[in-house]
Structure 1
C-alpha cells in the first residue's frame, strides 16, 4: 500500500530502526537480511530526504528529524493495529488473545491472581503475561508493547484513558517479637527505627520518601531495601525493624507470619490504583471487555 508515494510497509521498518538504532538487531526483528535492511533504510532516507540514522563512532544515532518522526510513526502503527486490523466481532469464550499487563507483585498477590482465575471461567483461551514495573514501562505502553498498566495515580499519562480500580491505605508492620514498640508507634520511634523498604527502578519509584520529606522534613533510615512487595514482610521477621506497606498485603501475610499491624504515626495519603491503557486501544472490543471484567471482579472481591 502506498500513500503519497510512500510504501506504508516501510513505516514498520522505520519504527524498528529508530528503536534499535542498529542494522543487525533491526534485521533480526524484521526477519530480513542485513543488506535488505540497509536497502530499506536507504529508501527511507531518499523519501524523507534525511539521513535518519547517522553513524557516530561505532554507534548509529537518530537525527533530529528522525526523533520528531518516531512518535507519529508509532501512533500510526498503533492506530492501524487497533482499529483496522482488529476484528470488530469477538467472542471471549473462543478468543485466543494474549494480553501483556504491567503491574506489581503486590497487586498480583492481593487481587489479580483471583481476577485471572475468574476470567478463565469465561475466556479459557485468553493468555496473560504479567510484567513488573520499571524504568521503561511507560515507554512500553506508549509503543504498544504492553496492553495495559495497573499503577498508582502518580504514573498516569496525560492524554491516555484510565479508570480507578480501588484505594489502599498504608500501615506499619513489625515482627510480633519486636520489643521497641507495642500496639502503637510514635513518630519519634518511627524516625529512630531501622526500616525495610521496597524500591523500583533507578528513580526509587513507589516509595513514600518524597512525601515524608516534603511533609515532615525527614527520610527513613533504610537498613534493608528489596525490589518486590512480597519479600517486604518476610524481611521484618526476627528483627527490630519496621516496614511501611500497603494494608491488603500486610493483612495477607499476617495470616502466615508472626506480624503486628500498626497504624502509621502520621496520616499517609491513600494509594489510588488505576487501570491505564493507550488511547488507540479505547475502542478495541476485546480490550474493552477485559477492562470491564477486571473492574467487575475486583468490585465483587472487595465486597
Structure 2
C-alpha cells in the first residue's frame, strides 16, 4: 500500500483554518504560488475541489467541512509525537496560540499577555478570536486553544480554571446629573441605560436586582462591545454597567468619565479559562495557561473616594 504524502495533511489543515491560500502560505512559510500548487495536489488526492471561489475569498466544500476536525486531530497527534513530553524551550518555539475572549479581557489584560510572550516566547504569535457563532464547539474541534469567559456551560469534558473574580461598576460622563445627589437604586434606575450583549439582549444581571425593589430601567442602546458602549456614554446621559476590569485601561482614552458603585446587591463576576483535555499535558499550552493565570492574579482594583460612591476614570 502506497502511503500518501502526509505533508499534504498539514497543508490541508492550514488551508481549511485560514480559508485563504495566502494565509496558509504565510503560516507554512511558503510562497503563495507554492501553496497554490500544494492545493492542486490535495484536490487531486482527494478528488474534491476542497476550497472553491466565493466572491474574493474561498469557502470549503461540504466534504472538506466534514473532515476538518479529523484533519486537525491528525495534525495535532503527529505534532505530539515529535514534541518533548515534559518540557519545551519557549524561547525558540514557533507557535500560534488562538485565544477566544470578549473585549473585556483583551482590553484589560491583552497588553500584558503580549509583553509576556515578547519576553519569554518571542517566536510565538497570539491571536485573539472574538466571541461569535459556533462558540460551543470551538474547543472540541480544536479551532481555539483557550476560551476566556465568565460562562460556565463548557461541557463535562472541558477543563476550567478560575482566572479572577471581579464586580460590576457603573459609568457615566463627568457632570452627569446622577452625581448631583447620593446615588440610590431609584435614581440609578431613572436614567436611560446601555445593554452590552453580543446576542442583542436588553436584560442582564442588573434587571432582576432592580425588580426585587419594584424598579425597572429603560434600555436605550444595545451594543455588542463594551468599548463601543463607553464612547456612546461619554457624549450622552446614558448609564453603563460594566465589569470593573474594563475601567483599568480607560485612563489612556482621555475621556472625561466617572465610575460609581452600583447601589444594588449583585453576584460577583467569575472569569475562567477553559481548554480541551487534548492540551492538558502540552507544555507550551501549560505555559500559556500559567502565564494568563499569573497576569490575572495581579489586578488593578478600582478605589472609590472616601465618603463618595464615585471614582475618576
Same fold (TM over 0.5): yes
What is aligned with 2:226? 229
Q: Distance in 2 between matches of 1:293 and 1:277?
A: 14
What is aligned with 1:49? none
What is aligned with 1:25? none
Question: Can you list the C-alpha shifts for 1:121-173, whole angstroms capped at 9, x where unaligned?
Answer: 12221111111111223322221111111111335332111211101100111
Check whether the contact 1:196–1:226 (CA below 8 A) recurs between aligned residues. Answer: yes
SS of the equivalent of 1:107 reads: helix
Are 2:106 and 1:112 equivalent residues in the alignment? no
Q: Distance in 1 between matches of 2:11 and 2:248?
A: 49
Are 2:148 and 1:150 equivalent residues in the alignment? yes
Check whether the contact 1:185–1:262 (CA below 8 A) recurs between aligned residues. Answer: no
Q: 1:262 to 1:131 in 2, by over 3 A?
A: same
Q: 1:259 to 1:280 in 2, by over 3 A?
A: same
TM-score (norm 2): 0.68
Are 2:207 and 1:209 equivalent residues in the alignment? no
Q: What does 1:86-101 correspond to in 2, within 5 Å?
A: 86-88=83-85, 89-101=87-99
Match of 1:140 among 129, 138, 141: 138
What is aligned with 2:170? 172
Q: 1:142 to 1:12 in 2, by over 3 A?
A: farther
TM-score (norm 1): 0.70
SS of the equivalent of 2:263 reads: coil
| Alignment gaps of 5+ in structure 2 | 18-34, 49-60, 302-313
Q: Distance in 2 between matches of 1:85 and 1:235?
A: 51
| Alignment gaps of 5+ in structure 1 | 3-7, 20-29, 44-60
Q: 1:241 to 1:33 in 2, by over 3 A?
A: same
How many residue pairs end up in the alignment? 280
What is aligned with 1:194? 192
Check whether the contact 2:195–2:223 (CA below 8 A) recurs between aligned residues. Answer: yes
Question: Can you list the C-alpha shifts for 1:58-90, whole angstroms capped at 9, x where unaligned?
Answer: xxx98xxx99x9988876665555x43544352
SS of the equivalent of 1:280 reads: helix
Q: Distance in 1 between matches of 2:235 and 2:40?
A: 61
Q: What does 1:18-33 correspond to in 2, within 5 Å?
A: none
The structural deviation recorded for 1:238 is 3.0
Q: What does 1:13-92 correspond to in 2, within 5 Å?
A: 79=77, 83-84=80-81, 86-88=83-85, 89-92=87-90
Q: Distance in 2 between matches of 1:280 and 1:292?
A: 17
Q: Distance in 1 between matches of 2:121 and 2:225?
A: 29
The structural deviation recorded for 1:112 is 2.4
Are 2:238 and 1:241 equivalent residues in the alignment? yes
Check whether the contact 1:237–1:258 (CA below 8 A) recurs between aligned residues. Answer: yes
Check whether the contact 1:97–1:126 (CA below 8 A) recurs between aligned residues. Answer: yes
